[in-house]
Amino acid sequence: MSSDQLQGYKKTLNSPYTGIKGWIDSRLPLIRMMEAEYLKFPVPKSLNYFWSFGGIAMFCLIGLILTGIFLGFHYKPSAEDAFDSVERIMRDVSFGWLIRYLHANLVSFFFIATFIHIFRALYFGSYKAPRELVYIFGLTMFMLMMATAFLGYTLPWGQMSYWGATVITNLFSAIPVVGDAILQLLLGDFTVGDSAVNRFYVLHWLLAFAIVGLVVFHVITLHMTGSNNPTGSEPQSWDETVSFHPYVTIKDLNAALFFFIIMAFILFYYPNILGHSDNYIKANPMITPAHIVPEWYFLPFYAILRAIPDKLGGVIAMFSSILALGLLPWLDTSKVRSCLFRPIWRYCVLLFAVNFLVLMYVGGKPAEDIYVLISRIGTAYWFLFIFVLAPLVGFLETPRQPLTITNYLQSKKA
């Protein structure tokens, strides 16, 4: 590098600010980065409220970490003490009931926001090129979220905690030959017990922060391509965008306000409606509750697990149901992103959403004939959607010409 090249390079590092702001920014370029990525960042003008759920999910994550820290001050991770320490939080710790109910209900609302967020990605084609990695990081976070939620649910050491943990960890025993050895390695014992609750507590923390790390990657990849929008068309000019602040910040805050009002209603009036009453009974390794049901947000995947009459097959189906979704960017052959312009695929995606809710319903029912049948049909559609409909519909359907952002907004006004 010649000397003037070096001077030119150094100039690109100069801070645009002066004063204290400039002093900090020329040493730690965070201020200019935040301004570029969050204040001036151009966002398509045509975003609807579906686009607020990513931000809402992030608020939920922050809330979970904050409440988690305060719960951690009082919680004791051992088979002997765990249940009693949670009851102590509920009865004796000042505002402990509020912090724990917040933590428990925020998880549910985190999943609600995430489910809507994923549906948005499917319906408006946000997973398609060039946003494949945004989508894959998102699905990875979703899987970590499920792992973290599962680990967290075992911590209160109630009957559902214990038996949920037993059933889920036993999934690993389905692995041929080494399954039982792996299970012992994971639990540090022959059964779910003192050793398991101790390490589950550590992993619950670890994975929570792993999710935070992945949020960074999710946002970096998103900001390389910019947000998708209902038309699926990329903005053609500066006029088709607005700055992230104040337009998106205010809109997302508004959406978050309504979202958290609904959460507050559940939190203060029906704090246990999304939980299971059996979890207020201390874990008893000798008695299995009559109906073991996972938390509501696991039910669709639990239904897929039970739909397959073979142990290993069920486990494979359950895990691959999410992994397969990660292939969608490459299996969907259509050139058009948004379902607004895709007459057939649109109904496939809507049916996928309905199917998800149906699986959720049957996942909470006992494994009896009719429910097993429905869960088999639902599981079949799940994989049919990804592996058959996505490539096939792309070929067969004739999409409409996608509107530009400007035309879309005009057509909505008219």
Please identify every residue annotated as catalytic.
223, 227, 251-252, 295
Strand partners, 282: 158
**Which pair of tokens denotes residue 244?**
């992230």
Determine, following the binding rule CB under 8 A, whether residue 170 of this chain makes contact with other proteins: yes
Q: Which stretch binds other proteins (CB under 8 A): 134-142, 249-257, 335-343, 365-373?
A: 365-373
User: Which among 184, 211, 207 has a CA at the least distance from the CA of 195?
Assistant: 184
Determine, following the binding rule CB under 8 A, whether residue 163 of this chain makes contact with other proteins: yes
Pick the binder of other proteins from 22, 42, 193, 364 (CB under 8 A).
Answer: 193
Using the minimum distance from each CB to other proteins, give the nearer residue, 186 or 322: 186
Least Å from the CB of residue 258 to other proteins: 39
CA Rg, the chain, in Å?
A: 24
Pick the binder of other proteins from 190, 265, 270, 347 (CB under 8 A).
Answer: 190
Strand partners, 43: 242
Determine, following the binding rule CB under 8 A, whether residue 188 of this chain makes contact with other proteins: yes
User: Which among 344, 329, 333 has a CA at the least distance from the CA of 400?
Assistant: 344
Least Å from the CB of residue 271 to other proteins: 27
Determine, following the binding rule CB under 8 A, whether residue 199 of this chain makes contact with other proteins: yes
Pick the binder of other proteins from 55, 68, 314, 399 (CB under 8 A).
Answer: 314
User: Which among 196, 114, 90 has a CA at the least distance from the CA of 153?
Assistant: 196
Using the minimum distance from each CB to other proteins, give the nearer residue, 36 or 292: 292
- Annotate each residue in 70-109 with x if it binds other proteins (CB under 8 A) or - if it does not, as one string: ----------------------------------------
Using the minimum distance from each CB to other proteins, give the nearer residue, 89 or 318: 318
- Annotate each residue in 264-303 with x if it binds other proteins (CB under 8 A) or - if it does not, as one string: ---------------------xxxxxxxx-----------
Determine, following the binding rule CB under 8 A, whether residue 212 of this chain makes contact with other proteins: no
Determine, following the binding rule CB under 8 A, whether residue 198 of this chain makes contact with other proteins: no
Pick the binder of other proteins from 368, 398, 413, 414 (CB under 8 A).
Answer: 368
Query: Given the rule CB under 8 A, which residues bind other proteins?
Result: 163, 166-171, 173, 184-191, 193, 195, 199, 285-292, 306, 309-312, 314, 366-368
